[in-house]
Amino acid sequence: MTPFKAKLRAGSPLLGTFLQIPAADVAEIVGKAGFDCGIIDCEHGMMGTDGALLLLRAAEGAGLTTILRVPGVDPHRITQALDFGASAVMVPNIQSRQKAEKAVAAAKYHPGGNRGVCPFARGANYDSANDAEYYLRSNAETAVIVQIEGKEGIANLHEILSVPSIDCIFIGPFDLAQSLGIPGQVTSPQVVEAMRDIVKRAGQKGIAVGSFSVTPEQAQRDIDIGIQFLAYGTDTMIIARQFRAIRHAIVRPAASR
Ligand code: 3PY
Ligand code: MG
């Protein structure tokens, strides 16, 4: 399975979705539907660590590249995500250079950081103790995605972008809209302008940008403004919308009495 970083480097737009339901079947369904990647969401939703591991295994079997979103800038959770075997870690709400550095340090072995070492973890192929290349290979292959989703992160974007080993900036339009004082208004000109600015500034540093969309029109607009990594909805959203659409589409006669 191609790691997220390699897919990103290939340059074409990537399609993913957030996986919040701790059922292996969903990861398989998404993989077999031909999506590029699944973001196992341990920030929101109902995903515990056991569920995350289950999904990682199922996703791999279905050819779906995995990203694990941790709940925050927690070095233990970041290390654990990579030890589990996720090919990328996504860290929410990065507001400063220090937080970005902390995230990267937890994801990279020396000399790129101080990631906790266990050469017997799943992500280390269960035994890399005698593999001298393991540390460098892992540093080179695993991706770090940091989320910019607030005014503070935008204000400090220049410094955040200068932290080595950040592979992708992921915009969180819902948190961003809230931070701009317009919660829920993810397609408002203010949010879109902020997104354009992030894409432009990250592009100047050669860093790819991803974002979250909840309608095909929004996803198309994201492509138009230069978003390379499209995360379309969550599994919960897609299932809920389909069930509701079917309920509305089937016209049932009213009861006769
Ligand atoms: C947001 O919109 O805030 C996100 O983090 C998307 O997952
Ligand atoms: Mg968010």
Domain coverage including residue 244? 4-256
Q: Which two tokens stand for residue 68?
A: 């694990």
What is the 92 CA–ligand 2 centroid distance (Å)?
A: 6
134 ligand 1 Cβ < 6 A: no
Q: Report yes or no: 110 and 136 within 8 Å, Cβ to Cβ.
A: no
CB 214 within 8 A of CB 186: yes
CB distance 216 to 199 below 8 Å = no
Q: What pLDDT tens digit does each residue of the chain (257 aa) get?
A: 678 999 999 988 999 999 999 999 999 999 999 999 999 999 998 999 999 999 999 999 999 999 999 999 999 999 999 999 999 999 999 999 999 999 999 999 999 999 999 999 999 999 999 998 999 999 999 999 999 999 999 999 999 999 999 999 999 999 999 999 999 999 999 999 999 999 999 999 999 999 999 999 999 999 999 999 999 999 999 999 999 999 999 988 887 76
Helix ranges (H only) for 35-180 are 49-61, 75-84, 97-107, 134-141, 151-155, 157-161, 173-179
Query: Which residues, 6 or more positions from 42, have their beta carbon under 8 angstroms from its beta carbon?
Result: 48, 49, 52, 68, 69, 70, 71, 77, 81
Rounded to whole angstroms, the Cα distance separating 57 from 150 reads 33
Residue found under tokens 């995903």: 47
pLDDT per residue over 129-142, tens digit each? 999 899 999 999 99
Residue 22 Cβ contacting ligand 1 at under 6 Å: no
Query: Looking at residue 1, what is its pLDDT?
Result: 63
pLDDT score for 11: 87
| Helix, coil or strand: residue 14 | strand
Is 79 strand, coil or helix?
helix
Ligand 1 atom index nearest CA of 149: 3
CA distances from 32 to 28, 35, 59, 120, 221 (A): 6, 8, 9, 30, 26
DSSP 120: T
- As annotated, the active-site residues are 44
Give the closest residue (by CA) to ligand 1 atom 4.
172
Question: Residue 247 is which amino acid?
Answer: R
Report how many domains make up the chain: 1
Cα-to-centroid distance, 3 and ligand 2 (Å): 23
For ligand 1, atom 6: residue with the closest CA: 172
**CATH number for 188:** 3.20.20.60
> Ligand 1 in contact with 172 (CB < 6 A)?
yes
CA 127 to ligand 1 center in whole angstroms? 36
Answer yes or no: is the C-beta of 149 below 6 A from any ligand 1 atom. Answer: yes
Secondary structure letter of residue 3 according to DSSP: -
Q: Hey, what are 26's tokens? A: 């969903």
C-alpha of residue 206 to centroid of ligand 2, in Å: 23
- How do residues 184-212 score in pLDDT, each as one tens digit? 999 999 999 999 999 999 999 999 999 99
The finding on whether 101 has its CB within 6 A of some atom of ligand 1 is no
